[in-house]
Amino acid sequence: MPRYSKKHISFRLNGEQTEVAFAPHKTLLEVLREDLNLTGTKHGCELGECGTCAILVDGRSILSCLMLGLDAEGRDVKTIEGMASGAELHPLQQTFADLGAAQCGYCSPGFLLVAEELLKKSPNPARAEIQEALSGNLCRCTGYIKIYEAVELAAARMRGEEVELPKESIYGLD
Amino acid sequence: MANDLNIIGKPFRKVDARAKCVGQTKFADDIVLPRMLFCKMLRSHLPHALIKSIDVSKALALPGVFAVVTGKDFPIPYGILPVSQDEHALCIDKVRFIGDPVAAVAAIDEDVAFDAMNLIEVEYEPLDTVSSIDEAVLIDEPRIHDYGDHGNVHKKVSLEFGNVEDGFAEADLVREDVFFYEGNTHLPLEQHAAVAHFDSDGKITLWSSTQTPHYVHRALAKVLGLPASHIRVIATPNGGGFGGKSDPFNHEVVVCKLSMLTGRPVKVTLTREEVFYCHRGRHPVLMKVKTGVKNDGAITAMHFQSFLDGGAYGSYGVASTFYTGALQTVTYDVPRYKFQGLRAFTNKAPCGPKRGHGTPQPRYALEVHLDKIAEQLGLDPVEIRRNHLVAPNTVTANYLRIGSMGLGTCIDKVVEGSRWKERFSWDQSNRKLPFGKGIGIACSSYICGAGLPIYWNNMPQSGVQLRLDRQGGVCVMCGSTDIGQGSDSILAYIVAEILGIDPFDIRVVTADTDLTPVDLGSYSSRVTLMTGNAAIQAAERARELLVMAVAEKLSVPIENLSLAERRVFDVENPDVSVSFAEAVVLAESKFGTIGTVGSYTPPRSPGKFKGSGVGPSPAYSYSAAVAEVDVNPDTGIVVVERVWMAHDIGRSINPMLVMGQVEGSVYMGLGEILMEEMAYRENRNVVHKFPSLLEYKSPTTMEMCDVKTYLVEDPDPNGPYGAKEVGQGPLLPVPPAVANAVYNAVGVRIDEVPITPEKVLRALKDKSRGRTGRFGPGSVPSVDWPDPLRVLTPAEGGDGSEMPRVAVHS
């Protein structure tokens, strides 16, 4: 039977004040997935190697597999479930979906939140800056290119610019 | 025809894309059922040992433990191929590699399961190990398995099409090279996970991260002793597959059994380390290729030998072995061809199919070998390829029927895009690019589905069922499994095209053995071609019912009716129309409930000889790549700056998804040529060097190169709307194109994959001392090959049958 008495924390989760009790050795990743049923946050290694479990804590991206749940006390946590505004997708979610930046989709939550952090700091990032910002997230499907394009298109839309994706990104070169 | 299409060829979003971007997609580990238990498996820490005893009493006594199972609970073997039923869900009397599971527990939570697992006591008697191809060929005892060709040789094959010696005699140059391609692994970001639920009706449901629910279904029926009709397998969306989730796995069997024993749902989620032990990835392959050519580069004969390090179990290995010899003939004309292949058992994680299944290794060898031949003959590497292409609509020496063949156009595209002619020169003393910069070219081809199913039968390989309801709803059901490539979306696009509705109007239900007609699974790049053709048939049958009913209602000839924009209308007078939903009501009123089916069976292969089952396909995709590299001669570090890739897709069902597959294939090929290694310590313990995502190096955003993609559309009559595959083929030319570019950059040949800085430096050092400047294997093991099975080529008047073995009279 469970051998640990649960500990209780209170924190902000996707904009809502949240209370939860869990075994004290659990990582925030486990607390989110197992105790709060927010399974949108994924795991790829649980050793801090792949970026799949990235979430935002107080606006900064962290690997939830390396943070104890107890350390979330009083913090402001955002997961993929809190990225859209109601039914309206975040521009990054929209472009990731529309451009095929999510193939299997397993790494997408981590990429989306890290990209959101990037665009807050840098609304018009160069390609190299995007690569640098996303270098801690592994994707095995896309070769990252559609992800860059999705970030660039979302950034442009968030700046209020009307842009189209270059034709060769969708149809290839002539 | 292209202009008449409303959906096909357009960059629609995938039908499941939004769910994936909001965290709503339910992967296997996201499933939580009431009263669910957690499973952990105890795995062997020894590479080869007899199991003397297993004591589970302490584990069973731990509070919170509900069941413990061992090998004796799983007496029936299974395996993906009928000829390799060599796995047990838990080892019975011996373990064959580090990671082979011996016992499993079901407990109230993962922590308790973990503690219980560590309380299981196993007494082993270690056995000598077999850790390499060389050892497997030399060491007959102890045998890892008691079946196979002999000793630790799992399988030997020997085939000869025409007489290669005649071909070598005609040649102006005969060249022989030896290559090694290290193994590597799929590394899907989602670790394998499964949930089993044995319900109150005595039926079992398994949700699993599998690419092949149909084969898992078959294996469970065999091993669990339940009727197949009482087993339901649901493949959850795969968080990446790449071939790594194509076998029935021990953990899938184990959770079913634990659920049957406990009456509660049981979940297993593998750790990343365990995924490395599941493996089934790229075989390490040692290869020798000997080719005879005329002075213009025309091939007169080829003899290819491959030696595969198979790891501890059969898996797909027999097929993999044939694949290392099958597709050499489909790019350039090879009039006579001999193939000898050997697969060895070793005490390592089993190898199997990874993206390109058995073909990236020989393709790398062939394309680098061809580059060397071109240099020797003073030919441009482009011309030696471009001038000797296999003609479309022909049959190769080894009886592969080629349909459309767009490789020439592919080559032209990348040659032009990369400004090849301005930048390439063999002459190191008169370089066109500065020393350290280089370009290289390679081409390839891949199957669009295997012509024969794993279990030979006369049934379709893919089935689709359509249901139309009176509200205008359309549900398409198919056994195919979306592993991220977009196979669910392909079904929706095709049905929407034919029924004139929007893809997002359609409900797609897939990969559920209770609800969906069989599709064999997401492997061999078969899904778009086969499910696409089945979907076309089902949708056209539904369209037929709709137009018959509408024609009667509108008093319009059937042939005048068209379906588009959610309406059925008279093409001569578009105002005469009904809505799609009204059309369904009319059809349901006339015919009753509307449901149709479609199915697809590939055409018969012309090959009839034993071994002709691997290689035939309804169509072949083609790719050409030019890689541009920067090699630092002081550090040996290779940076791939850009890859130009042209892919003959036949026709894009959705170009955006095709682009994604091309870019992802380039990425994975780049990882294989530069860094990825499934490598083991070079001592007798056969310990995996780095079973973790950090130490198993794969490309991040910082290593990924720029990709310039060209999609060549040469529709194939066997493809749906002419479509061919794209998921695997574009990986194939990347490793050899990079290897050839490295040679162009610094003048050394790295005949062993991956091309690490250490190898480049060693070759450069070697060259600076006046030697060859090559890093790679020197020879292949000496093996007693069986007499080859001989087949006359089509050009020699052969009919695809093997020649009778002639008795030698003394």
pLDDT, one tens digit per residue, over B165-212 is: 999 999 999 999 999 999 999 999 999 999 999 998 999 999 999 999
pLDDT band at B809 (very low <50, low <70, confident <90, very high): low
Q: Do B237 and A134 touch (CB under 8 A)?
A: no
Q: Which chain A residue is nearest to residue B731, measuring alpha carbons? A: A143
The answer on pLDDT for B1 being more than 50 is no
H/E run at residue A16 = strand A16-22
List CB contacts of B634: < 8 A, sequence separation 6 or more.
none
| B20/A43 touch (CB, cutoff 8 Å), yes or no | no
Mark yes or no for CB contact B64/A1 under 8 Å.
yes
In the numeric block, which tokens belong to residue B211? 């690419």
Cβ of A142 and B666 within 8 Å? Answer: no
Give me the residue from B22, B652, B709 closest to A84, CB to CB. Answer: B22
If contacts are CB pairs under 8 Å, which of residues 120-159 in chain A contact chain B?
A: 130-132, 134-146, 148
Sheet holding B49-55, edge to edge: B94-95, B49-55, B121-126
Chain B positions in Cβ-Cβ contact with residue A104 (cut-off 8 Å): 20, 188-190, 237-241, 483-484
- Residue-wise pLDDT for B716-743, tens only, equals 999 999 999 999 999 999 999 999 999 9
Banded pLDDT at A4 (limits 50, 70, 90): confident
Residue B537 parent element (H or E): helix B527-554
B327: nearest Cα among B732, B763, B789, B787: B732
DSSP run (H or E) holding B69: strand B65-70
CB contact under 8 A, A104 and B239: yes
Please name the residues in contact with B791: beta carbons below 8 A apart, sequence gap of 6 or more: B159, B160, B161, B398, B399, B607, B609, B798, B800, B801, B802, B803
Shortest distance between the Cα of A96 and any Cα of chain B, in A, equals: 7
Q: Do B692 and A49 touch (CB under 8 A)?
A: yes
pLDDT band at B806 (very low <50, low <70, confident <90, very high): low
pLDDT value for A27: 98
Gyration radius of chain B over CA positions: 27
DSSP B777-798: --------PPPPEEE--GGGT-
Which chain A residue has the Cα nearest residue B63? A1
Residue type, B177: D
Distance from C-alpha of B109 to C-alpha of B647, rounded to nearest angstrom: 49
Alpha-carbon gap: A74 to the closest alpha carbon of chain B (Å): 24
pLDDT tier, B518 (very low <50, low <70, confident <90, very high otherwise): very high
Question: Where in B244-312 does DSSP place strands (E)?
Answer: 266-269, 285-293, 299-309
For residue B790, count other CB atoms closer than 10 A to its CB: 19
Please give the average per-residue pLDDT across B146-169, as a whole number.
Answer: 97
Closest to A103 (Cβ–Cβ): which among B484, B692, B693? B484
Domain ranges of chain A: 7-82, 91-171
Q: Which residue of A has its CA nearest to B237?
A: A104
Could you identify the residue written with the tokens 């016992």?
Answer: B103
CB contact under 8 A, B663 and A146: yes
CA distance B345 to B100: 14
Cβ of residue A170 closer than 8 Å to a chain B Cβ? yes
pLDDT digits (tens, 9 = 90+) for B751-779: 999 999 999 999 999 999 999 999 999 99
pLDDT per residue as tens digits for the range B658-668: 999 999 999 99
- Which pair of tokens denotes residue B467? 């249901």
- Taking each helix axis from N to C terminus, what angle separates B655-674 and A145-158, rounded to the nearest 10 degrees? 130
A35 DSSP assignment:
I
Q: What are the distances in angstroms from CA A77 to CA A41, A73, B355?
A: 12, 10, 38
Chain A residues within 8 A of B16 when measuring between CB atoms = 105
Q: Measured between CB atoms, which of B14, B189, B702 is closest to A106?
A: B189
d(CA A149, CA B222): 47
Dist. CA A26–CA A66, nearest whole Å: 10
Cβ proximity of B546 and B583 under 8 Å: yes
Rounded Cα distance, B39 and B57, in Å: 17
Contact (CB<8Å) A42/B27: yes
ipTM higher than the 0.95 cut? yes
The model's pLDDT over B305-349, given as tens digits with 9 standing for 90+, comes to: 999 999 999 999 999 999 999 999 999 999 999 999 999 999 999
pLDDT digits (tens, 9 = 90+) for B684-706: 689 998 899 989 999 999 999 99
pLDDT at B810 over 90: no
The mean pLDDT of chain A is: 96
CA A152/CA A158 separation, integer angstroms: 10
Q: What is the DSSP string of B712-768?
A: E----TTSGGG----SSGGGTTHHHHHHHHHHHHHS-EE-EES--HHHHHHHHHHHH
Q: Do A100 and B657 touch (CB under 8 A)?
A: yes
CB contact under 8 A, B700 and A135: yes
Query: Are the beta carbons of B486 and B14 closer than 8 angstroms?
Result: yes
A107-121, B425-439, B674-688: the lowest-pLDDT one: B674-688
pLDDT at A1 over 70: no
Q: Which residue of A has its CA nearest to B186?
A: A140
At the fourth CATH level, the homologous superfamily of domain A91-171 is: [2Fe-2S]-binding domain (1.10.150.120)
Chain B residue with minimum CA distance to A140: B188
What per-residue confidence (pLDDT) applies to B3?
54
Q: Parallel, antiparallel, or unpaired for β B204-208 and B474-478? A: unpaired
C-alpha torsion angle, residues B646, B647, B652, B657 (rounded to 10): -80
CA–CA dist B660, B642 (Å, integer)? 16
Q: What is the mean pLDDT of residues A57-81?
A: 98
Q: Is B702 on the interface with A (CB under 8 A)?
A: yes
CA nearest A108: which of A120, A97, A119, A123? Answer: A97
Give how far B31 is from chain A: nearest CA, Å: 9
A106 → chain B, closest CA residue = B239
Residue appearing with tokens 């398995």: B145
| A66 at B interface, C-beta within 8 A | no
pLDDT computed for residue B804 by the predictor: 87
pLDDT greater than 70 at residue B27 = yes
In this predicted structure, what is the pLDDT of residue B685?
83
pLDDT recorded at residue B4: 84
pLDDT at residue number B43: 98
Give the model confidence (pLDDT) of B5-16 as tens digits: 999 999 999 999
Judge whether B512 is closer than 8 Å to chain A, CB to CB.
no
Q: Closest Cα partner for B737 from B325, B418, B295?
A: B418
DSSP state of B604: P
Q: Are strands B101-107 and B65-70 parallel, antiparallel or unpaired?
A: antiparallel
The percent of chain B in helix, strand and coil, each rounded to the nearest 5, is 30, 25, 45
Which residues from B are below 8 Å from A140, CB to CB? 186-189, 240, 242, 664, 667-668, 698
Average pLDDT over residues B603-612: 94
> How confident is the model at residue A2, as a pLDDT?
54
Nearest to A105 among B25, B702, B708 (CB): B25
pLDDT at B144 over 80: yes
Interface of B with A in 462-491 (CB under 8 A): 483-486
Nearest to B30 among A39, A80, A141 (CB): A39
Q: What is the pTM of this model?
A: 0.97
Per residue in B519-529, pLDDT tens? 999 999 999 99
CB contact under 8 A, A100 and B271: no
Window B:720-749, CB contacts with A under 8 Å:
none
- Size of the A and B interface in Cβ pairs below 8 Å: 205
Q: What b/e string do you get for B713-745 counting C-beta neighbours within 10 Å, with b at 16 or more?
A: bbbbebbbbbbbbbbbbbbbbbbbbbbbbbbbb
Overall average pLDDT of the B225-231 stretch: 96
Q: Spell out which residues of chain A touch residue B710, defining contact as CB-CB under 8 Å.
A: 172-174
Q: What number does CATH give the domain A7-82?
A: 3.10.20.30
Q: Which of residues 27-56 of A touch B (CB under 8 A)?
A: 33, 37-47, 49-50, 52
Is 80 exceeded by the pLDDT of residue B2?
no
What's the pLDDT tens digit per position in B37-60?
999 999 999 999 999 999 999 999
Look at A104 and B484 and tell me if their CB atoms are within 8 Å.
Answer: yes
Q: Is B672 exposed, middle or buried (0-12, 13-18, 19+ CB in 10 A)?
A: buried
Residue B693 is nearest to which of A45, A84, A104, comparing CB atoms? A45
- Contact yes or no for B18 and A134 at CB 8 A: no
Q: Tokens 């010696």 belong to which residue?
A: B165
- To the nearest whole Å, the CA of B13 is away from the closest chain A CA by 5
B237 touches chain A (CB under 8 A): yes
Give the phi and the psi of residue B213 in degrees, each rounded to 5. -60, -30
Chain A residues close to B354, C-beta within 8 Å? none
Q: Which of B745, B748, B774 is nearest to B439 (CA)?
A: B745
**B81 to each of B152, B192, B318, how far by Cα in Å?**
19, 21, 8
Q: Which of B11, B64, B663 sits opposite A142 (nearest CB)?
A: B663
Residue B655 with chain A: CB contacts under 8 Å: 170-172
CA-nearest residue to B647 within chain A is A172
- Asked if domains A7-82 and A91-171 share a fold, the reply is no
Shortest CA gap A62–chain B (Å): 17
**Out of A80, A106, A131, whose CB is closest to B701?**
A131
Chain A partners within 8 Å of B207 (Cβ): none
CB-CB under 8 Å, A84 with B186:
no
**Would you give the DSSP letter of residue A64?**
G
CA distance B520 to B223: 19
The domains located in chain B, with CATH, are: 31-127+189-240+245-278 (3.90.1170.50), 285-452+607-775 (3.30.365.10), 459-600 (3.30.365.10)
Average of per-residue pLDDT across B488-504: 98
Q: What is the mean pLDDT of chain B?
A: 97
Nearest to B532 by CA among B404, B711, B405, B654: B654
Cβ neighbours of residue B252 closer than 8 Å, sequence gap 6 or more: B194, B196, B206, B208, B210, B216, B219, B220
Whether the CB of B239 is below 8 Å from some CB of chain A: the reply is yes
| Closest alpha carbon to B209 in B179, B244, B174, B175 | B244
Q: How far is CA B581 from the centre of its chain?
A: 40
**CA B709 to centroid of chain Cα atoms:** 22
What span, in angstroms and rounded, lies between the C-alpha atoms of A152 and A165?
9
Q: How many percent of chain B have pLDDT more than 70?
A: 99
pLDDT of residue A164: 87
Residue B670 — φ and ψ, nearest 5°? -65, -45
Contact A46, B272 (CB under 8 A): yes
Question: Long-range contacts for A70-76 (Cβ within 8 Å, ≥24 apart)?
Answer: A70/A7, A70/A9, A70/A24, A71/A28, A72/A9, A72/A11, A72/A28, A72/A31, A73/A9, A73/A10, A73/A11, A74/A10, A74/A11, A75/A11, A75/A12, A76/A11, A76/A12
Q: What are all long-range contacts of B572-581, with beta carbons under 8 Å and residues at least 24 apart? A: B578/B550, B578/B553, B578/B554, B579/B472, B580/B472, B580/B499, B580/B500, B580/B501, B581/B470, B581/B471, B581/B472
Name beta bridge partners: B286.
Answer: B180, B307
Q: How far apart are the first and last CA of chain A?
A: 64
Subunit contact A104:B238, Cβ cutoff 8 A: yes
Q: Does B426 touch chain A (CB under 8 A)?
A: no
